[in-house]
Amino acid sequence: MGSSRRTALAAGGAAVAAALALTGCGQGFDDAEDDSEGLTSSDDALTILYGASGEAETRAIEAALAAWSEESGVEATAVAATNMDQELSQGFAAGSPPDLFYLAPEKLAGYAENGSLEPYGDLLSNKDDFYPSLVQNFTLDSEFYCAPKDSSTLALVINTDMWAEAGLTDADIPTTWDQLDTVAAALTSGDRAGLAFGAEYQRVGAFMAGAGGRLVSEDGTTAVADSPENLEALEYVKGHLEDGTFAYAADLGAGWGGEAFGKGLAAMTIEGNWITGGLSADFPDVNYRVVELPAGPAGQGTLQFTNCWGMAADSPNQEAALDLVEYLTSADQQLAFSAAFGPMPSALSAADRWSADNPDLAAFLAGADYATGVPTAAGSAEVVSDMNAQLESLATGDPAAILASVQGNLEAVVG
Amino acid sequence: MSLTVNRAGLGARRGDGPAGWLFTLPVIVVLGLFMLVPVLMALWVSFSDWTGRGSPLAPGTGFVGFENYAAITSGGGLAERNFGIAMRNNAWYALLVVPLQTGLSLGLALLVNRAVLRGRGFFRTAFYFPSVTSSVAITVLWLFLFSTSGAVNQVLSWIGVNGPNWFNEPAGIVHVALGNPEGPAFLTGSDFLGVSWWDWLSGPSVAMSALILMAVFTTSGTFMLLFLAALQNIGPELDEAGRMDGASAWQRFWRITLPQLRPALFTVLTLGLIGCWQVFDQIYTGTQGGPGKTTVTPAYLSYEAAFTDQAWGQGAAISFVLFAVIVVFTLFQRWVLRERDASKRVEKRIAKGAKA
């Protein structure tokens, strides 16, 4: 027995050595050291990895790429990701990532840290045309990494039929939390909640913003989660979850706020501008209007979400990719995307035309003026998902304890 | 045992050696390339600071010793707590699934083994059916069955039970059974792997319980088959002898049939235990770890840590800790079910009987 174990060990050692030798060829992947001096240039075709919200987005992106290819003579293929994180990671590890890809701000730091991303923001000819708050999301150590491709904010969506049924009028549109209490109570009946939203920071955080709270300070250097402002917001939400006028979508048996709203399980919801697409596809008969979120004790507040066009450091044809980003983020192209599948433009020069084209959705764009972004430090996505897990049981939980644990977790990743 | 056979074979016909290696070469190469090498690379990653870009064997990757293992088992950070939660969830899962699926599959095997049962073929197929269905399909089915207004809650409402919101209920069933009290200070005050002892004792969450039922439902068919094969191998003589000696049906099962099923029982328990600690697809397609992280398992956490949070070393470390857990449990089980002790006991009893 003893000798066979020794033999096994020796065999294992030999296997390790063999494995190292075998995979030695993998080292060739890492040859290009990035100094971000200049962009790479070649005749290679571009690959674009995107996460499609539906058929409309796929068609719009393919049309835009075809138009650009014709103009530039560079071939570009769009690949829809089924699992963005996984496919990107595999690409980076293998040294053959897509040239351009959708990138969420909370993923930026992780990929930037390991050198997978090419920071190209300052090379853009239209870099001054983006909302500064969006650019902030994609700036790390004062380096502007990638161009925001769109923007969205949260607003209050109201079912107008239920609104009228409850005897409410335009004059009752809530502009403060107190007024929100009143209409939510008036709209709550039987199994129907007045206001429904997802049990996550990405929705509940809008109340924190209204109370003047944030998770991370504006300059991104300090964790400020356990502030009295955040506590006030969570206690406000908790109180209404308890009295039944607010409800989490999941507790109503819906996957997200839009579904609870569409199914009539709630009379109001807090969602972003993507809800319009969801409602017209799945619940075309629901009549609704969108208004700005009521102001909290600290004034108006909402959350802002965005993605950028990430560029791979290992891309062999970055110059063409840069040209493609400029094309895709131009005001005209963004308005075309907006018309096709609903995102709000990230370009300032497109704002007026967008508002004119979408008068019903003006509340979303208005929110961009006072919106707060989500934390972007490396590791903060994990902290937020832990916070979301705790927010699920906010109704029975202790807001102060939740915030204290979030603060502890954030301090470990911020600064 | 196989080792001695090999040695004997080699000794007898030395000339066959090269031919033997030649014939096994394809398998060795395929397994080596697609299993051994990746496993060893993962082992290296678990000891390295690889960040996920380029090859982990490239010069830029450094050796960090047990740093990744330390991050998930100590230090008080989020990584440790996540790992503790995942271990808690999976321990309860294994604790409930293994006995339930073993008991149920044995019961089903005994039922469909009876010669008098009409339509045996039908029942054997029916019980086996869930095992051959893809776990993704069954997970989706389960999400519908256990939704707030799903079939399960409808049936429960017939008997006046207001069913829970299964897949959105993070409360542990032990805590629920106790009426969700505040934990006593000696349990809430101290923790293990970042999870307080009170939370370790919470039991599986309601959501995890639904997944436990699913695991029992899907796997008992496979294990029924193993028991059935073992049962068919048992000759009727001993059972008849027992009958002649006036043993009751229960005594014959407990003292005659079950001991003969020991090898099958060991196989079922081992396979069940290993399967339980590797739960991934149900979580990935079904709950994504929610509600409140109560369905996160180490296997899923390993994936999340690596692919979503870019903590590749920690992800790899989790999977190797999981490997160690499985090996330890299997060895423990082998020790519990070892043959030697039981035969000694029987010998003693026989000796005693002879004296009397």
For position B16, what pLDDT does the model report? 82
Which residue from A230, A385, A277, A203 is spatially nearest to A195, judged by alpha carbons? A203
For position B323, what pLDDT does the model report? 93
Q: Which range in A22-26, A188-192, B180-184 is most confidently predicted, on average pLDDT? A: A188-192
CB A115 within 8 A of CB A34: yes
DSSP string across B185-227: HHHHS-EETTEEHHHHTT-SBHHHHHHHHHHHHHHHHHHHHHH
Mean pLDDT over each residue of chain B, to the nearest integer: 85
**For residue A328, what pLDDT band results from cuts at 50, 70 and 90?**
very high
Q: Which of A26, A86, A412 sits opposite B57 (nearest CB)?
A: A26
Q: Helix A399-413 vs helix A228-243: angle between axes, to the nearest 10 degrees?
A: 140
pLDDT digits over A247-271, tens only? 999 888 888 999 999 999 999 999 9
Using a 10 angstrom Cβ sphere, with 0-12 exposed, 13-18 middle and 19 or more buried, the burial of residue A403 is buried
Which residue from B228, B215, B211 is spatially nearest to B131, judged by alpha carbons? B215
Say which amino acid occupies A181.
D
pLDDT digits over B271-325, tens only? 999 999 999 999 999 888 878 889 999 999 999 999 888 889 999 999 999 999 9
- Asked whether the beta carbons of residue B170 and residue A86 sit closer than 8 angstroms, the reply is no
Q: Which of B37, B81, B148 sits opposite A23 (nearest CB)?
A: B37
Going from the C-alpha of A4 to that of each of A130, A175, B11, B36, the distances in angstroms are: 67, 78, 17, 19
- Return the number of CB contacts < 8 Å for A and B: 108
- Asked whether the beta carbons of residue B3 and residue A4 sit closer than 8 angstroms, the reply is yes
pLDDT of B1 above 60: no
pLDDT digits over B64-73, tens only? 989 999 989 8
CB contacts, 8 Å: B149 with chain A: 253
Which residue from A204, A217, A176, A178 is spatially nearest to A299, judged by alpha carbons? A176
- Asked whether the beta carbons of residue B40 and residue A15 sit closer than 8 angstroms, the reply is yes
Q: Which of B82, B148, B292 sits opposite A392 (nearest CB)?
A: B292
Q: Which of B36, B37, B291 sits opposite A392 (nearest CB)?
A: B291
Architecture in CATH of A46-148+307-345: 3-Layer(aba) Sandwich (3.40)
pLDDT of A18 above 60: no
**Other residues' Cβ atoms within 10 Å of the Cβ of residue B36:** 17
- Asked whether the beta carbons of residue A19 and residue B36 sit closer than 8 angstroms, the reply is yes
Query: What secondary structure letter does DSSP report for A274?
Result: T
Residue of B nearest to A13 (CA): B40
CB contacts, 8 Å: A252 with chain B: 148
Q: How far is B97 from chain A (nearest CA, A)?
A: 25
Residue of A nearest to B146 (CA): A253
Terminal-residue alpha carbon distance, chain B? 39
Which residue from A301, A295, A185 is spatially nearest to A244, judged by alpha carbons? A185
**For residue A1, what pLDDT band results from cuts at 50, 70 and 90?**
very low
Q: Which of B55, B80, B162, B293 to mutate to test the interface with A (most CBs of A within 10 A)?
A: B55
Going from the C-alpha of B127 to that of each of B151, B217, B230, B321, the distances in angstroms are: 21, 9, 17, 35
Alpha-carbon distance of A76 to A100, in angstroms, equals 10
**Which residues of B lie closer than 8 Å to A, measured between beta carbons?**
3, 32-33, 36-37, 40-41, 51-60, 77-78, 81-82, 147-149, 165, 168, 170-171, 180, 290-293, 306-310
CB contacts, 8 Å: B81 with chain A: 386
For position B341, what pLDDT does the model report? 53
Q: What are phi and psi of A288, to 5 degrees?
A: -150, 165
For position A27, what pLDDT does the model report? 38
- Residue at token pair 């991104």: A220
Q: How many CA atoms lie within 13 A of B303 on its CB side?
A: 16
CB A326 within 8 A of CB A68: no
For position B345, what pLDDT does the model report? 60
**What sign for the dihedral angle of Cα B339, B340, B341, B345?**
positive
For position B25, what pLDDT does the model report? 93
Q: How far is B71 from chain A (nearest CA, A)?
A: 12
Which residue from A287, A284, A280 is spatially nearest to A341, judged by alpha carbons? A280
- Asked whether the beta carbons of residue A251 and residue B41 sit closer than 8 angstroms, the reply is no
DSSP string across B22-79: HHHHHHHHHHIIIIIHHHHHHHHHHTB---SSS-TTSTT--B-TTHHHHHHHSSSSHH
Structure tokens at B196: 């307080």
Instruction: Give percent above pLDDT 90 in chain A.
Output: 48
- Asked whether the beta carbons of residue B78 and residue A24 sit closer than 8 angstroms, the reply is no
Alpha-carbon distance of A267 to A269, in angstroms, equals 7
Architecture in CATH of B77-355: Orthogonal Bundle (1.10)
Using a 10 angstrom Cβ sphere, with 0-12 exposed, 13-18 middle and 19 or more buried, the burial of residue A352 is exposed
Structure tokens at A65: 């790429």
pLDDT of A158 above 60: yes
Which residue from B321, B112, B310, B98 is spatially nearest to A108, judged by alpha carbons? B310
Residue of A nearest to B308 (CA): A85
- Asked whether the beta carbons of residue A110 and residue B309 sit closer than 8 angstroms, the reply is yes
Alpha-carbon distance of A217 to A375, in angstroms, equals 9
- Asked whether the beta carbons of residue A27 and residue B55 sit closer than 8 angstroms, the reply is yes
For residues B320-334, one letter each, b for 16 or more C-beta atoms within 10 angstroms of the residue's C-beta and e for the rest, the string is: bbbeebbeebbeebe
- Asked whether the beta carbons of residue A30 and residue B58 sit closer than 8 angstroms, the reply is yes
Tell me what the mean pLDDT of segment B11-33 comes to. Answer: 84
For residues A34-45, one letter each, b for 16 or more C-beta atoms within 10 angstroms of the residue's C-beta and e for the rest, the string is: eeeeebbeeeee
Enumerate the β-bridge partners of residue A248.
A197
CB contacts, 8 Å: B170 with chain A: 389, 392-393
Structure tokens at B125: 């197929």
Checking DSSP bridges between strand A193-197 and strand A152-159, what pairing results, if any?
unpaired
Q: How far is A169 from chain B (nearest CA, A)?
A: 33
> Does domain A154-302+377-413 sit in CATH 3.40.50.970?
no
Q: How far is B15 from chain A (nearest CA, A)?
A: 23
**For residue A28, what pLDDT band results from cuts at 50, 70 and 90?**
very low
**For residue B224, what pLDDT band results from cuts at 50, 70 and 90?**
very high
- Residue at token pair 């607010």: A246
Q: How many CA atoms lie within 13 A of B231 on its CB side?
A: 19
Which residue from A115, A328, A249 is spatially nearest to B168, judged by alpha carbons? A249
Q: How far is B59 from chain A (nearest CA, A)?
A: 8
For position B99, what pLDDT does the model report? 94
For position A62, what pLDDT does the model report? 92
Q: How far is B163 from chain A (nearest CA, A)?
A: 12
pLDDT digits over B75-120, tens only? 778 889 899 999 999 999 999 999 999 999 999 998 888 777 778 8
Residue of A nearest to B55 (CA): A26
CB contacts, 8 Å: B180 with chain A: 396
- Asked whether the beta carbons of residue A19 and residue B291 sit closer than 8 angstroms, the reply is no
- Residue at token pair 């089924």: A82
Q: What are phi and psi of B40, to 5 degrees?
A: -65, -35
- Asked whether the beta carbons of residue A85 and residue B52 sit closer than 8 angstroms, the reply is no
Q: What is the 3-state secondary structure (H, E, C) of A295-354?
A: EECCECCEEEECCEEEEECCCCCHHHHHHHHHHHCCHHHHHHHHHHHCCECCEHHHHHHH
Diameter of chain B measured on Cα atoms: 77
Q: What is the 3-state secondary structure (H, E, C) of B275-342?
A: HHCCCCHHHHHHHCCCCCCCCCCHHHHHHHHHHHCCCHHHHHHHHHHHHHHHHHHHHHHHHHCCHHHH
CB contacts, 8 Å: B30 with chain A: none
**For residue B223, what pLDDT band results from cuts at 50, 70 and 90?**
very high
Q: Which of A86, A92, A412 sits opposite B77 (nearest CB)?
A: A412
**For residue A21, what pLDDT band results from cuts at 50, 70 and 90?**
very low
CB B307 within 8 A of CB A85: yes
- E strands present in A209-320: 246-248, 266-272, 288-291, 302-305, 308-311
Q: How far is B3 from chain A (nearest CA, A)?
A: 9
Reported as type and span, the H/E element at residue A78 is: strand A76-80
Instruction: Give percent above pLDDT 70 in chain B.
Output: 91
pLDDT of B262 above 80: yes
Domain ranges of chain B: 77-355
Alpha-carbon distance of B1 to B4, in angstroms, equals 5
For position B100, what pLDDT does the model report? 95
The answer to whether domain A46-148+307-345 and domain A154-302+377-413 are alike in fold is yes
CB A77 within 8 A of CB A61: no
Domain ranges of chain A: 46-148+307-345, 154-302+377-413
pLDDT of A163 above 90: yes
- Residue at token pair 């390993």: B302
CA angle B47, A35, A382 (to 5 degrees): 45
Enumerate the β-bridge partners of residue A378.
none
- Asked whether the beta carbons of residue B148 and residue A16 sit closer than 8 angstroms, the reply is no
Alpha-carbon distance of B110 to B228, in angstroms, equals 7
For position A241, what pLDDT does the model report? 93
pLDDT digits over A260-316, tens only? 999 999 999 999 988 887 888 889 999 999 999 999 999 999 999 999 999 999 899
Alpha-carbon distance of A1 to A248, in angstroms, equals 61
**Quick check: helix, strand or coil at residue B164?**
coil
**What sign for the dihedral angle of Cα A280, A282, A288, A291?**
negative
Which residue from A348, A332, A385 is spatially nearest to A104, judged by alpha carbons? A385
Which carries the bigger pLDDT value, residue A11 or residue B300? B300
Residue of B nearest to A412 (CA): B77
- Residue at token pair 């026989």: B350
Say which amino acid occupies A154.
L
Tell me what the mean pLDDT of segment A114-131 comes to. Answer: 90
Q: Which of B43, B53, B82, B198 to mutate to test the interface with A (most CBs of A within 10 A)?
A: B53
Query: What secondary structure letter does DSSP report for A122?
Result: G
**Which residues of A lie closer than 8 Å to B, measured between beta carbons?**
4, 15-16, 18-20, 22-24, 26-27, 29-30, 85-86, 89, 92-93, 95, 110-111, 113-116, 250-253, 378-379, 381-383, 386, 389-390, 392-393, 396, 409, 412
Mean pLDDT over each residue of chain A, to the nearest integer: 86
Enumerate the β-bridge partners of residue A303.
A372
For position B3, what pLDDT does the model report? 45
Provide CB contacts within 8 A for B229, sequence distance 6+: B264
- Asked whether the beta carbons of residue B308 and residue A85 sit closer than 8 angstroms, the reply is yes
